[in-house]
Amino acid sequence: MTAALFNVLLPVFVVLAAGAVLGRTLRLEIAPLNRLALYGAVPALVFSSLATTALAAADIGVLVAGQLLFLLTIALAALACSRLLEGAKRRAFVATSLFGNAGNMMLPLALFAFGEAGLERALVLFVLSSVVLFSCGPLVLAPSRGFRELPLGGVLRLPVLWAALLGLTCNALGALPPAGVMRGLELLGDAAIPLVLLVLGLQIGSAGVLRPSPMTLFAASFKLVGGPLVGFACAWLVGARGLDLAVLVLLAAMPPAVNTFMLSLEFGGDAEEVARTVVVATFGAALSVSATLWLLGALQGVGF
């Protein structure tokens, strides 16, 4: 089991380290690479995977229900645990607890740990997480804006959303694009996993030296320890078992999404605290995700 975990996690952190080093030495721009991933490689991966997936509608329903229940439960828990904090710091705590890194980190881990079947499930959760992050994230970070100012237009412009809908439609109809087009999309999608890892490495490398506060350590610990525990309970309650349960727990165990920091800059949150929490939790995930994957493997061995 230890060797298996090493083989799952090492490729991820090797590419993260490469991104951090290349970003420091070559002074690479993050934004263009991020756009390549967001608007090109990741939508191609989402479409090509969902268009050919063997996932049943019932499996997708269980995944969606489990993730929505997790978000509601962890939000209430974060609000309760942060009641001594005020204003932007409390909102930063809740935001980093809610929005996990469903793209840059979960997708490669799901692939390496659970294979193509795990990646298919992770992509469903990635699309849902993206919609929730970009629609509800601003409301969490700047609640004074109210529901009327939710950026639904921005959500509708997310290419991963349309790629998912189109892929599921093609799957349901049994109608795929011509073989040459499909192969081209698969080639583009193959670039998604290394590209999102490089982008995350660049972002970590550009963060510089951060001095974590006690709140930072508490927020990171809450996400990395409390997240998978709550995720397991929610997944079990909605009837998820086996691989469905494992991928739901894996998402719950992810460190905060880097985009949470970008949204905090845009909508007036405590961007400095969010950045510290994202970086500390991402490094801490090397240990917490290892433990989560080990426990998931042990549970699967006894029939979970």
The CATH number linked to 46 is 1.20.1530.20
Number of domains observed in the structure of the chain? 1
Task: Note whether residue 258 is domain-resident.
Answer: yes
Please state the three-class secondary structure of the chain as a single string. CHHHHHHHHHHHHHHHHHHHHHHHHHCCCHHHHHHHHHHHHHHHHHHHHHHCCCCCHHHHHHHHHHHHHHHHHHHHHHHHHCCCCCHHHHHHHHHHHHCECCCCCHHHHHHHHHHHHHHHHHHHHHHHHHHHHHHHHHHHHCHHHCHHHCCHHHHHCCHHHHHHHHHHHHHHHCCCCCHHHHHHHHHHHHCHHHHHHHHHHHHHHCCCCCCCCHHHHHHHHHHHHHHHHHHHHHHHHCCCCHHHHHHHHHHHCCCECHHHHHHHHHHCCCHHHHHHHHHHHHHHHHHHHHHHHHHHHHHHHCCC
Taking only the tens of pLDDT, the chain with its 304 residues reads 556 567 777 888 888 889 989 988 888 888 888 889 888 999 999 999 999 988 888 899 999 999 999 999 999 999 999 988 888 889 999 999 999 999 888 999 999 999 999 999 999 999 999 888 888 888 888 766 555 555 566 667 778 889 999 999 999 899 999 999 999 999 999 999 899 889 888 877 876 656 788 899 999 999 999 999 999 999 999 999 999 999 999 999 999 998 888 778 777 778 788 888 988 998 899 899 999 999 988 876 545 5
pLDDT for residue 178: 95
Q: What's the domain range around 35?
A: 2-298
pLDDT for residue 302: 45
Task: Note whether residue 51 is domain-resident.
Answer: yes
Task: Note whether residue 304 is domain-resident.
Answer: no
Task: Note whether residue 274 is domain-resident.
Answer: yes
Task: Note whether residue 103 is domain-resident.
Answer: yes
Task: Note whether residue 303 is domain-resident.
Answer: no
pLDDT for residue 111: 92
Task: Note whether residue 176 is domain-resident.
Answer: yes
